[in-house]
Structure 1
Amino acid sequence: MFDWLVVGAGFAGATLAERLASVRGEKVLVIDRRDHIAGNAYDELDAAGILIHRYGPHIFHTNSAAVFEHLSQFTRWRAYEHRVLARVADGMLVPMPINRTTVNRLHGLSLTTEDEVEAFFSAQAEPVPEIRTSEDVVVSRVGRKLYETFFRGYTRKQWGLDPSELDRSVTSRVPTRADNDDRYFTDTHQFMPADGYTAMFRKMLDHPNITVMTGTDFAAVKDKIPYRRMVWTGPVDEYFGFRFGKLPYRSLVFQHETLDQEWFQPVGTVNYPGEDVPFTRVSEYKHLTGQVHPKTSVTYEFPSAEGDPYYPVPRPENAALYKQYEALADATEDVWFVGRLATYRYYNMDQVVAQALATFRRIEAALPSGDGQERPPAAAAD
C-alpha cells in the first residue's frame, strides 16, 4: 500500500514526491509513461557525448529565493545568462527581445538614450482602443514594422494562428526594452544545474520512501497497485476521459544534429521569425552547459498540431473549456491536480516548482501527517 501515487516525474511530480516522502515520511510511488524521469527537462549525452535536452532548451531562471533554495538541495549550479538573436532580412542577427541595439541595427540609427528609443517606439506605435490580442500588444507598443519583422511570422508558425487570433498573454511574455540589455531573462537567479537536469531529478527522487516506475502508464497500474491518494500532473482532460472534449495544445518536433565543428552559432538560441523556414529556433547546448567538446550539437524546433502536449492555446473558448474540467478537479476527492498540463497554464519551470510547494502546504494543512483517515476534497492548485 502506497500513501501516494504521483503520476508524472517532471517538476510538479518530483517536487511533491520528495516533500511527501521526506517531510511527511509517507510512501510514494512515482510513475511516468515515458522511459525516463525529469519530464520535458530531461537531458542526456548524445552519441557524440554532448549533453543535450531531448525536448528542447530548458534555461532555469527565477526571482523566487524560496524556489532557488529548494532546488539547491539537489544540485550545484552553473551561472548562465541566456541570450537570443533573431535572424532577420539578409541574414542579419539582432538581439531578441527588441532593445536599443536591435533598433539601431535594423534601422541604421544611432540612438544613445532610453528616451530616444522610447520616442522612436512612440512614433511607430499604432493606437489600439482596447488591448485584446497578441497583435494589439505589439503594434500598440512598437508599431507594425517591428511586429511583422519579429512577431507575426514566428507566432503564426508557433501557434498555427495569426497573432490577431491569440490572447494578449502570448506576446506579453516577451518584453521590449529601450536600453542595451541583451539578456533574454532579467531574473535574480539565472543558473543551469551543473550536472544537468536529469542528475538533479535523480537526487530529488533518491529517497527510501520513493519508488519510481518509468515506462508505466496510469491505466496499467490504477487498479493493480493500492494507494490512498494521488497527485496528477498529466492533462486534466485525459484524467476525466475527455468528458467535455479535448483541450487544445500545440506540440513540437525536435530535430537534433551533431556537427563536426566546435561552434555553430554565437549564442545559445537563434530565432527564425520569418515564414521562409518551417522551424522557429535553433539552440546550441554547449552555450548553456559550458561543456568543452570539439563537436557541437544543436536542435531545430518545428511547431506541430500533433504530438505531446506542450503549450496550452490561450484563447477564450479554451479557457472556458478548462473551467469545466477545473470544476471536476475541485470536486474530486483525494486527487491533487498540479502542473502545466493539470491546470492548463503555461508555467515556467520555477513557477511549477512554486505551485507544487504551495500545493504541499495545502496538503499539510488539510491532512495532518499520519492521520490515515481523512478524505478531503482535492484541491486544484492555483
Structure 2
Amino acid sequence: MFDWLIVGAGFAGATLAERLASVRGERVAIIDRREHVGGNAFDERDAAGILMHRYGPHIFHTNSDQVFAHLSRFTRWRAYEHRVLARLADGRLVPMPINRTTVNRLHDLSLTTEGEVEAFFASRAEHVPEIRSSEDVVVSRVGRELYETFFRGYTRKQWGLDPSELDKSVTARVPTRNSNDDRYFTDTHQFMPLHGYTAMFGRMLDHPNITVLTGTDYRAVRDSLPHRRLIWTGPVDEFFGHRHGRLPYRSLRFRHETLDREWFQPVGTVNYPGEEVPFTRISEYKHLTGQVHPQTTITTEYPAAEGDPYYPVPRPENAALYKRYEALADAVPDVWFVGRLATYRYYNMDQVVAQALATFRRIEAEVPPRAANDGRFLAAAGE
C-alpha cells in the first residue's frame, strides 16, 4: 500500500514525490509512461557523447529564491545566460527579443539612448483601443513592421493560428527592450544543472520511500498498484476520459543532428521567424552545457498539431472548456492536479516547481501525515 501514487515524473511529480517522502516520511510510487524520468526536461548523451535534450532546449531561469534554493539541494549549477538571434529571410542575424541593436541593424540607425529607442517605438506603434490578442500586444508597442518581421510568421508556425486569434499572453511573454541587453531572460537566477537535468531528477527521486516505475501507463496499474491518494500531472481532460471533449494542445517534432564541426551557430538558439521555412528554431547544446567536444549536436523544432501535448493553446474557448474540467477536478476527493498539462497553463519550469511546492504546503495543511492515521489506514486496507 502506497500513501501516494504520482502520475508523471517531470518537475511537478518529482518535486512532490521528494517532499512527501522526505518531509512526511510517506511511501510514494511515481510512474511515467515514458521510459525515463524528467519529463520534457530529460537530457542524455547521444551517440557522439554530447549532452543534449531529447525534447528541445530547456534553460532554467527564475526570480524565485525559494525555487532556486529548493532545486539547489539536488544539483550544482553552471552559470548560463541564454541569448537568441533571429535569422531573417535575407540572412541577417539580429538579437531577439527586439532591442536597441535590433532596431539599429534593421533600419541602419545609430540610436544610443533608451529614450531614442522609445521614441522610435512610439513613432511606429498603432493605437489599439482594447488589447485582446497577441497581435494587439505587439503592434500597439512597436508597430506593424516589426510585428510582421518577428512575430506573425513565427506565431503562425508555432501555434497554427494567426496572432490575431491568440490570447494576448502569448506574445506578452516576449518583451521588447530599449537597451542593448541581448539576454533572452533577465531573471535573478540563470543557470543550467551542472551535470544535466536527468542527474538532478535522479537525486530528487533517490529516496528509500520512493518507488520509480517508468514505461508504465496509469491505466495499466491504477487498480493493481494500491494507493491512498493520487497526484495527476498529465492532461486533465485525459484523466476524465475527455468527457467534455479534448482540450487543444500544440505539439513538436524534433530533428536531432550531430555535425562533424565544433560549432554550428554563434548562440544557443537561432529563431527562424519567416514562413519561408517550416521550422521555428535551431538550438545548439554545447552553448548551454559548456561541454568541450570536437563535434556539435543541434535540434531543429517543427511545430505540429498532433503528437505529445506540449503547449496549452491560449484561446478564450479553450479556457472555458478547461473551466469545466477544473470543476470536475475540484470535486474529486484525494486527487491533486498539478503541472502545465493538469492545470492547462503555459508554465515555465520554475513556475511548475513553485506550484508543486505550494501544493505540498496545501497537503501539509489539509492531510494528516500517515503516522497519525496508521490505525485507520491499516484497518481500511484489511492489514
Give the TM interval when normalised to the shorter protein. over 0.9
Q: Which residue of 1 aligns with 2:291?
A: 291
Q: Structure 1, residues 127-179: CA drift from partner, whole Å, max 9, x if none?
A: 11100000000000000000000000000000000000000000000000000
Q: Return the offset for 1:361.
A: 0.2
> Match of 2:373, as an amino acid?
G
Counting only pairs closer than 5 Å after superposition, residues 255-266 of structure 1 correspond to structure 2 as 255-266=255-266
Q: Does 2:164 align with 1:170? A: no
Q: Which residue of 1 aligns with 2:308?
A: 308
SS at 1:191 equivalent? strand
Q: Which residue of 2 aligns with 1:349?
A: 349
Q: Structure 1, residues 68-126: CA drift from partner, whole Å, max 9, x if none?
A: 00000000000000000000131000000000000000000000000000000000001
**Matched residue pairs, number?**
375
> Match of 2:368, as an amino acid?
P
d(CA) in 1 for partners of 2:203 and 2:89? 46
Q: Which residue of 2 aligns with 1:105?
A: 105
Contact 2:89 2:276 survives alignment (8 Å): no
d(CA) in 1 for partners of 2:268 and 2:240? 39
SS at 2:137 equivalent? helix
SS at 1:324 equivalent? helix
Instruction: Determine what percentage of the aligned residue pairs are the same residue.
Output: 82
SS at 2:342 equivalent? helix
d(CA) in 1 for partners of 2:153 and 2:242? 32
> Match of 2:53, as an amino acid?
H
Q: Which residue of 1 aligns with 2:34?
A: 34
d(CA) in 1 for partners of 2:99 and 2:36? 39
> Match of 1:350, as an amino acid?
D
d(CA) in 2 for partners of 1:329 and 1:142? 41
SS at 2:24 equivalent? coil
Q: Which residue of 1 aligns with 2:381?
A: none
Q: Which residue of 2 aligns with 1:372?
A: 373
Counting only pairs closer than 5 Å after superposition, residues 221-370 of structure 1 correspond to structure 2 as 221-370=221-370
Q: Which residue of 2 aligns with 1:380?
A: none
d(CA) in 2 for partners of 1:369 and 1:245? 37
> Match of 2:18, as an amino acid?
E
* Unmatched runs of 5 consecutive residues or more in structure 1: 376-382
> Match of 1:238, as an amino acid?
E
SS at 1:228 equivalent? strand
> Match of 1:77, as an amino acid?
W
d(CA) in 2 for partners of 1:190 and 1:156? 29
Q: Does 2:221 align with 1:212? A: no
Q: Return the offset for 1:182.
A: 0.2
Q: Structure 1, residues 315-347: CA drift from partner, whole Å, max 9, x if none?
A: 000000000000010110000000000000000
Which consecutive aligned stretches of 4+ in structure 1 deviate over 2 angstroms post-superposition? Answer: 370-375
Q: Return the offset for 1:369.
A: 1.4
d(CA) in 2 for partners of 1:346 and 1:357? 18
Q: Which residue of 2 aligns with 1:131?
A: 131
SS at 2:174 equivalent? coil
RMSD: 0.9
Q: Structure 1, residues 226-266: CA drift from partner, whole Å, max 9, x if none?
A: 00001000000000000000000000000000000000000
> Match of 2:28, as an amino acid?
V
d(CA) in 2 for partners of 1:96 and 1:308? 27
Contact 2:50 2:293 survives alignment (8 Å): yes
Q: Return the offset for 1:372.
A: 3.3
d(CA) in 1 for partners of 2:225 and 2:209? 16
